[in-house]
Structure 1
Amino acid sequence: AERFLPDPFNGGTMYRSGDLVSWQADGTLRYLGRADQQIKLRGFRIELGEIEARLGECPGVRDAAVIVREDAPGDKRLVAYFTGEIPAIGELHERLQGVLPDYMLPSAYVRLEALPLTANGKLDRRALPQPGSEAVVSRAFEAPQGEVETALAAIWAEVLKVEQVGRHDHFFELGGHSLLAVSLVERMRKAGLAADVRVLFAQPTLAALAAAVGSGREVKVPANRVPHDATRITPEMLSLIDLDQASIDRIVASVPGGAANVQEIYPLAPLQEGILYHHLSAEQGDPYLLQSRLAFDSLERLLNWAAALQQVIDRHDILRTSVVWEGLAEPVQVVWRQADLALSKVTGLGEASVIEQLLARFDARQQRLDLTRAPLLRLVYAEDPRQGEWVALLQFHHLTLDHAAMAVVGEEMQVLLDGRGATLPAAVPYRNYLAQVCLGDDQASHEAFFRAQLGDVEEPTLPFGLADVQGDGGRVEHAALRLPDALAQGLRELARQRGVSVASLVHLAWARVVGVLAGRRDVVFGTVLMGRLQAGEGADRALGMFINTLPLRVDTALPVEQAVRVTHQRLSALLGHEHAPLALAQRCSGVAASAPLFSALLNYRHSAEAARDGEGIWQGVRLLGGEERSNYPLTLSVDDLGEGFSLSVLAAEGLPAAQVGTWMVNTLGQLLQALERAPGQGLDHLPMLDDEALRQVVEGFNATTVNYPQGHTVHALVEAQAPEALAVVQGEVSLSHGELNQRANR
């Protein structure tokens, strides 16, 4: 009712946008500003009045005003003006860091004797002077001040492996990234320094993080009230979920041993709900049943390895967890007190390609695990007499393990196989994370955030026009490649110079590739978040499914310099909502509920520890590889190996997975070059084709058109010659079908 009003001119309804305009004699509208002082800067909607209010609360400030200045086309910045007495602008900036996100912080502060006023006594914003160099916030080295900053500096130095940290030093400029942030938050927690992790990404200086200590959102995790000797589970025993007695009895009946074997019952995490949905909707097989292939030098070695895995299962609640949904209002996960690994010997196989025969017999595209039986792991093995070894297939379900958790499993097994099991720390319960999600989650905040980010997105982003995001993960093309060392080093150095993460640069390049393949400049794709930044105590070493997939929006029409900042800021803001359900985010967009918001995915992973060769991880054991699957038609996984990067592309059958990987590498190179030489260049002008491919599209395809009769369209021509090139032609040349056809026919 407030925004949609009757249209007195044309009938129907009109929308009150908040823009101030004057209607000119020639029928055009002249923009005068905003009625409510709301502006859009670097992709964020900002209320200038909110910044002014926070500035006015600072000691010594009497009057305050904030405006947006555009010193060069596309280069906008916030400038604050104030009256009163303060020691230095650095102090003002520091105080605002504790109460405002980074994108709302002014870059310059100007002190005036009085704010300029119009004839009727209102603020004259046009009369506010240009800020001088002394008004600009700079980051010179300054030693940490006070106990909190000093303690934080020591933690930063240890985590980032640097000798000295100043109070204005920047986390990402010192080489920080999201995985190190998890370690940092955990070490802060152990030192009694709890803070909202969003501050680290939104305002990544030591002083800002120190100022926010004590403002964390972590909830107190209630104790598990199920007694060890329970003969019946009752509603009051469950601290993380409300269930009636009939539902509890139905759940307990699904567990061997009954109530005596039930440790706890609680709901599913957001991404677990999505995984279960895909499991239930798959006609056969399971897109989230993953597997690793291994070879052992003896049967004894294999059995010892399986025994170590059983010890890890005994340690961690999530590995003793099943899922129950039938007859319940919502699915739940049930922690068993005892769950034994399914270990099966397979006989009757031929001597040739034993591991391939195992893969065929236990193909996840055809078979599935029973999710109601814990643990959600299975080890099948057979003798390979030709190789003189035993080969095995370890199948595990994504419901209980993510990429980071698998790395922890491998580390713990190594310790156990070495006979050092007594040195392992106490296992971190998965319930700690569920408590943060169930009790500390703010659905209203999530909804407000995603409505602001996605509310005006009315069309999905669909590379190659593919909209099926509920596939079974089968029938995919896979391609793997590695970034050239020089490009990898260049990206790392550039990220440090710009004060952003390398992940931000990768997301930006992927947005360009996806935008070309989808024919869109306003691009939305899914990004996989670690989910551990706000997962509670011990999240850095906990097992379980923590990751979540959420949409990231990138405007590829922006200049590359600005696009880098905006992408980094949006990724940072997204981290504050890492536990929000994807379904909620999609509902906040303007895309019809029947269509997906996006059909391309990016999974940026820090895999330095997992990058070691299969040889030598465990003595006498070789890793023969694994299998990645995705229900999205186009998925890019980027493994950050500490120095280099590897890329893995999964594409629906018939799509050029290897070509997509090559396009991504080319785009990263073009992005690096543009940021070094032409930062004002538009992102959508970066070619993602290498020189040879560009010549083929521009010269080769054009040369072929002379053999086609008048009237044949370029669309049909390219589709016939190279279907995957069609979207590239449109995106690279930025011409409509009609314009392309006219040129070809000429």
Structure 2
Amino acid sequence: PLPPGVPGELCIAGPALACGYVGDPQATAERFVFSEWLGERVYRTGDRARLRGDGELELLGRLDGQLKLRGYRIEPGEVEAVLVSHPAVSAAVVGLSGEGAGARLAAWVVLREAVAIEALREWLAARLPGYMVPGAWQVLERLPRTPNGKLDRGALPAPAAVVPAGRGPATALEGLVCELFAGVLGLASVPADGDFFALGGHSLLAVQLVSRLRDALEVELPLRAVFESPTPAGLAAVLAAQGQAAVPAERLLPRHGDQEAPASLMQQRLWFLDQLEPGSAVYNLAVALRLSGEPDVAALQAAVDGLVARQAVLGSRIVARDGEPWQLPCGRPVRLEERLVTADGLEAALSGYASAPFDLAAGPLLRVGLFRGAGSPVLAVVVHHIVADGWSLGILLAELGALYGAALRGEPAELAPLPVSYADYARWQRDWLAGERLAAQLDYWRSQLAGAP
């Protein structure tokens, strides 16, 4: 074993360890090996990791260069080999661009002759699964190299999402769907026959697309429609075919001033898990930002106050009423916590701050800390998953930045008023999933799970 802080290969052992790969004795012999230190078989995961000083395990990527994207394991060398087999490509590098839900498979290519990127995409699509076809591309004159001749991945420029040429919208409805596609995908425009998933879309973005279609057209569109008809023209045809048969979307209306509400269904699930394992930090969402310059503490506190006033759910608590979870205002402000740390102790301090559990019944479910003494100050934001998710965390940080800038200038932030609150949404969801809808869902899942242990 390696001492804390030293990177190495992550190995797994224990009674639940598999016997090996079915029908592949060579891979089994390579990955399932005997550990003299443990005195038992271990599985070599191929993941690079290290044990931190606080006892937490930190994953650092793959030892073999393998990529992981939305549940798929991708060998970049396999994609690169197919790319350089194209007559026009002399060199290629494949990797990931972006982070989190916005991550995409990207390709950097050096061409020996002119060729359209869409032609390269089609070349790959005919030879590889769809998830191995890059959604972002960059043409280079040459690949960047280090002084000793190795590929310098850090010098690769940010690639651009490729929008294939295609026809324009033929109807106003197609035009609207094209605009919604472009907004969700972060593109300037999308052709009417552009494939949502080929342009970088995935299941999480598909949910956003359905939500925006609901808001724009006030109709319910099932998520599967995006997968079955993944182009603006195809979805527009589905919407047009529904016509009068379309199910109107029940409007989500604000109830101003009433912030006591039953928990949403997602909140109820997380509250139930917290009851099973109180004091767990497994659902904490955390981000740390290295700041340039010394922040104005008063303006930063004003920004935090403004954020909680705007997104009231961040200042809520989750309590039980007659055995059911409700979200109520916490009644206590979110105070900016200032901490002095050393350079050697910064990582452990941030880790401890991020992993400290929340008391759902006490609240608030957001904390913000300012860590000084280790070079540039670090701002840490931690929130419980019961009031935020990975996507909304980006919104939270953007609004906090806007509010901080406005506080520095002594003027109101230029943020559009929110038409509804999360409490409004929770009440709407509970009202919507009731009666016949709820009974149909329960009947379906009872039949699906019949006979399960």
Contact between 2:336 and 2:367, CA under 8 Å: does it hold in 1? yes
Task: Please list, as runs of the form range in 1=range in 2, the aligned pairs for 1:355-504 lying within 5 A after superposition.
Answer: 355-359=346-350, 362=353, 364=355, 367-384=356-373, 387-419=374-406, 422-427=413-418, 428-441=420-433, 442-451=437-446, 455=448
Amino acid at match of 2:377: W
**Aligned with 1:210 (options 240, 244, 257):** 240
What residue is the counterpart of 1:131 in the other structure? none
- What is the rounded CA distance, in whole Å, between the counterparts of 1:201 and 1:360 in structure 2? 39
State the match for 1:475 in structure 2: none
CA apart distance, 1:203 = 4.3
How far apart, CA to CA, are the structure 2 residues paired with 1:361 and 1:422?
32
How far 1:402 sits from its partner (Å)? 0.6
1:591 aligns with 2:452: yes
Could you tell me how far 1:287 is from its partner in structure 2?
2.3
Q: 1:333 aligns with which of 314, 327, 332?
A: 327
State the distance in 2 between where 1:150 and 1:346 align.
Answer: 52
Instruction: Summarize deviations over 1:453-507 as a string: whole Å, max 9, x none.
Output: xx3xxxxxxxxxxxxxxxxxxxxxxxxxxxxxxxxxxxxxxxxxxxxxxxxxxxx
Q: What residue in structure 2 maps to residue 177 of structure 1?
A: 202
Change (3 A) 1:342 1:371: farther
Which amino acid is 1:317 matched to?
A
Distance apart, 1:331 and its partner CA? 1.6
- Relative to structure 1, the CA distance from residue 305 to residue 211 in structure 2 (aligned partners, 3 Å threshold; closer, same or farther) is farther
Distance in 2, matches of 1:399 and 1:407, equals 16
The 2-side partners of 1:143 and 1:294 are apart by 42
Aligned equivalent of 2:310: 315
Distance 1:423 1:363 in 2: 30
Distance 1:446 1:146, change over 3 A: same
State the alpha-carbon separation in 1 of the partners of residues 284 and 294 from structure 2: 25
What does the per-residue CA deviation read over 1:135-192, in whole Å, with 9 as the maximum and x for residues that have no partner? xxxxxx99866654454455546656455315xx754456543444455445545544
Q: Mind listing any 5+ residue stretches in structure 2 that lack a counterpart?
A: 1-165
Distance apart, 1:403 and its partner CA: 0.4
Structure 1 pair 220–290 and aligned structure 2 pair: CA distance change class (3 A): closer
User: Would the aligned equivalents of 1:218 and 1:440 in 2 still touch at CA under 8 Å?
Assistant: no
Counterpart CA distance in 1 for 2:243 and 2:210 is 11
Query: 2 CA distance for matches of 1:156 and 1:285?
Result: 38
Aligned counterpart, 2:161: none
CA distance in 2, matches of 1:157, 1:222: 27
Alignment partner, residue 345 of structure 1: 338
Q: How far apart, in 2, do the equivalents of 1:158 and 1:293 lie?
A: 28
Letter of the structure 1 residue corresponding to residue 226 of structure 2: L
Q: Aligned residue for 1:613?
A: none
Query: Where do residues 293-304 of structure 1 align in structure 2 (5 Å cutoff)?
Result: 293-297=288-292, 300-301=295-296, 303-304=298-299
Instruction: Give the aligned partner of residue 98 of structure 2.
Output: none
The Cα of 1:315 is off from its aligned counterpart by: 0.6
Which structure 1 residue ranges, 5 or more long, are not aligned?
Answer: 1-140, 229-262, 456-587, 593-746
In structure 2, the CA distance between the partners of 1:424 and 1:213, relative to structure 1 (3 Å rule), is: farther
> What is the aligned partner in structure 1 of residue 255 from structure 2?
224
> Aligned ranges for residues 721-736 of structure 1 at < 5 Å?
none
For the structure 1 residues 357 and 286, does the alpha-carbon distance in structure 2 shift closer, same or farther, using more than 3 Å as the test?
closer
What one-letter code is carried by the residue in structure 1 that aligns with 2:417? A
Q: Which secondary structure state, in structure 2, belongs to the residue aligned with residue 331 of structure 1? A: strand
Cα shift at 1:303: 4.9
TM-score (norm 1): 0.32
Return the letter of the residue paired with 2:219: A
Matched ranges for 1:107-126 at <5 A? none
Task: Quote the Cα distance in structure 1 between the aligned partners of 2:171 and 2:348.
Answer: 65
What is the identity, as a one-letter code, of the residue corresponding to 1:370? D
- Which residue is equivalent to 1:164? 191
User: Given that residues 315 and 364 in structure 2 are in contact (C-alpha distance below 8 angstroms), is that contact kept between their aligned partners in structure 1?
Assistant: yes
CA, structure 1 residues 328+391, in 2 after alignment: closer, same or farther (shift >3 Å)?
same
Q: Between the two proteins, what is the percent identity of the paired residues? A: 24
Larger Rg: 1
Distance (Å, rounded) in 1 between the aligned partners of 2:328 and 2:359: 14
Aligned-partner SS, 1:408: helix
Residue 196, structure 1, aligned to residue 190, structure 2: no
Map 1:689-700; keep pairs closer than 5 Å. Answer: none
CA distance in 2, matches of 1:430, 1:174: 31
Q: Is the 8 A contact 1:193 1:213 kept in 2?
A: no
Q: 1:554-573 alignment to 2 at 5 Å? A: none
Measure, in 1, the Cα distance between the counterparts of 2:311 and 2:292: 28
Work out whether residues 299 and 390 of structure 1, in 8 Å CA contact, stay in contact via their aligned partners in 2: yes
- Residues 127-166 of structure 1 aligned to structure 2 (within 5 Å): 147-149=172-174, 151-153=176-178, 155-156=180-181, 161=187, 162=189, 164-165=191-192
CA gap of 1:170–1:374, structure 2 versus 1, over 3 A, is same
Q: Say if 1:391 and 1:589 are closer, same or farther in 2 by CA, change over 3 A.
A: farther
Contact 2:181 2:190 in 1 (8 A): no
CA contact (8 A) 2:178 2:190 kept: no
Aligned length: 272
Partners of 1:156 and 1:371 lie apart in 2 by 37
Q: How does 1:636-655 map to 2 (within 5 A)?
A: none
Describe the SS at the equivalent of 1:322: strand
- Answer whether contact 2:370 2:379 (CA < 8 A) is retained: yes
- 1:398 deviates by 1.3
Of 253, 269, 284, the residue aligned with 1:274 is: 269
Cα RMSD of the aligned pairs, angstroms, is 3.7
- Partners in 2 of 1:288 and 1:202 — Cα distance? 33
Matches within 5 A, 1:222-301: 223-224=254-255, 263-282=258-277, 284-297=279-292, 300-301=295-296
Over 3 Å counting, the alpha-carbon distance change for 1:278 and 1:321 in structure 2 is same
User: If the length of structure 2 is used for normalisation, what is the TM-score?
Assistant: 0.50
1:324 to partner: Cα distance: 1.1
Q: Contact between 1:382 and 1:392, CA under 8 Å: does it hold in 2?
A: yes
What code does the residue aligned with 2:326 have?
V
